[in-house]
Amino acid sequence: MDYFDSHYISNSDLKKLRKMIDPKFEDPADIDRIFSFGTLFHALVLEPHKADYTHPDYELANRMAKNFFKEKICREIFMKTYDLRREHEYYRSSYMGVNARCKVDFESKALSLCGELKGLSVSSDKALDEAIDRFDYDQGLAWYLDLTGHKRYFFAAPSKVAEKVFKRLFDRDHHHYKRGKEKVKKAIKLYNEMFHYDHSEN
């Protein structure tokens, strides 16, 4: 099954749907560059052989990747976890009434952990918490935990603007998970209202 051609919906699909109907939402002017940079950074950490070493922002992405591996917990997850899988896909039928999919950046059954990498322009814990809510990363963590069935979610965010790597470990008791789960419920409700409307009463 090809991930992007699948009829299963992803967290990104739900976020795009909400953006489409929000008249106040507007993508950043440099959205293509942001996505291109994210692809490069992910490759440098997860699949270095796929990285574009001619990318104009290579030096910044490479610095962030090196900072990531300087962190002991990041090194141990990536170097010492015997069953670590990268870019692994999950598909679940009838998750809260929809067929759902996700692709986790990395995961381990032995650790009961899945994780995600984000390169963010934040320089403080407060700014990170604001970004998690504003960009709905909490919705993503609930989506990934529920679809993978893992107990823990590791969020690693090397900063674009500081020599720092923000690290958070979440479980289902964390308030970010609980807030994210509510966002998932609202997003799926909107999806069902738009695409599964019952016309039989009209």
pLDDT, one tens digit per residue, over 124-139 is 999 999 999 999 999 9
Q: Which amino acid makes up residue 94?
A: S
Choose among 175, 111, 91, 191: nearest CA to 141: 175
* Domain annotation for the chain: domains and CATH numbers: 11-26+83-195 (3.90.320.10)
**Residue 111 and residue 33: Cα distance in Å, rounded?**
34
Express each pLDDT in 76-126 by its tens digit.
Answer: 999 999 999 999 999 999 899 899 999 999 999 999 999 999 999 999 999
Q: 27 — phi, psi (to 5°)?
A: -65, 150
**Residue 183 and residue 36: Cα distance in Å, rounded?**
27
**Residue 168 and residue 190: Cα distance in Å, rounded?**
29
Helix (H) or strand (E) segment spanning residue 191: helix 175-195
pLDDT of residue 199: 38
Burial class (CB in 10 A: 0-12, 13-18, 19+), 13: middle
- Is pTM, for the whole model, over 0.75? yes
Residue 128 tokens read as: 């990170």
Give the pLDDT band (50/70/90) at residue 196: low
- Between these two residues, 86 and 26, which has the higher pLDDT value? 86
168, 118, 105, 182: CA torsion to nearest 10: 60
Predicted confidence (pLDDT) at residue 159 exceeds the cutoff of 60: yes
Let me know how many helices (H) and strands (E) the chain has, helices first: 7, 5
